[in-house]
A = this chain, B = another copy of it.
Amino acid sequence: MTARTSRGRRPGAPDTRAEVLAAARTSFAEKGFRGTTIRAVAASAGVDPALVHHYFGTKDDLFVAALQIPVDPRAVLAPVVAAGPDGAGERLLRTLLSVWDDPELRPGLVALVRSLMSDDGAGLVRDGFIPVVVGPVLAGLVPDRPEVRIPLVASQVIGIILGRYVVALPPLAQMPAEDLVARVGPTLQRYLTGDLP
């Protein structure tokens, strides 16, 4: 079913990379994050596992690539975490809004979020995106119980993203980013570092 150019196919050619990525997307969707292995993706794409590592790095990296997010959330969040826990709630939200408010990035992000609300997509968020991609980065900010704090942060962030960008609920959709940061930043700060029962 795959279109071939008249030049045929060489190992490592651009369509090999695309085929590995397609195989990874299928596997993550059908088997989830935990059920997917580099070895199985390589077999499905008919290449050596070393080539998958060469193209995409670790399984975490392959997962981020398969999500086809226009930015790597680990790279986006790293400076937020590096600046330390004071004011991290506001910085985290300001950073996320700056990515989502970019008109070139937003359509792809909205489509991604919608796809993640399906059954398969929800599994990828639950087993991959939060615990593997976002969680370990944000864990550098919290004093204790990251397994409680980070899902609470995620709950407020998901709600803001849906309200502002997917549902476009007034006035969340129109609110200047700094107003939203001032209103919601303290929530994120409390979840990250505050006294929580």
Contacts and interface: CB of A to CB of B under 8 A. Distances in A.
Contacts of A148: 171, 183
Interface in A29-67: none
Interface in A128-152: 130-131, 147-148, 151-152
Contacts of A184: 152, 155
Given A154-B159, A158-B159, A196 B183 contact: yes
Contacts of A191: 183
A99 interface: no
Dominant secondary structure at the A interface? helix
Interface stretch (A12-20, A69-77, A118-126): A118-126
A130 B162 contact: no
A162 B152 CA distance: 12
- Bin the interface of chain A by size: 35 or more
Contacts of A172: 151-152, 155
A156 B122 CA distance: 18
Interface of A: 113-114, 116-118, 122, 125-126, 130-131, 147-148, 151-152, 154-160, 162-164, 166-172, 179, 182-184, 186-187, 190-191, 196-197
Contacts of A162: 117, 155, 158-159, 162
Contact of A166 (B122, B169, B171): B122
Given A148-B171, A156-B156, A186-B190, 15 more contacts: A114-B118, A117-B117, A122-B168, A126-B167, A126-B168, A126-B169, A151-B163, A151-B171, A154-B169, A155-B162, A155-B164, A183-B191, A183-B197, A187-B187, A187-B190
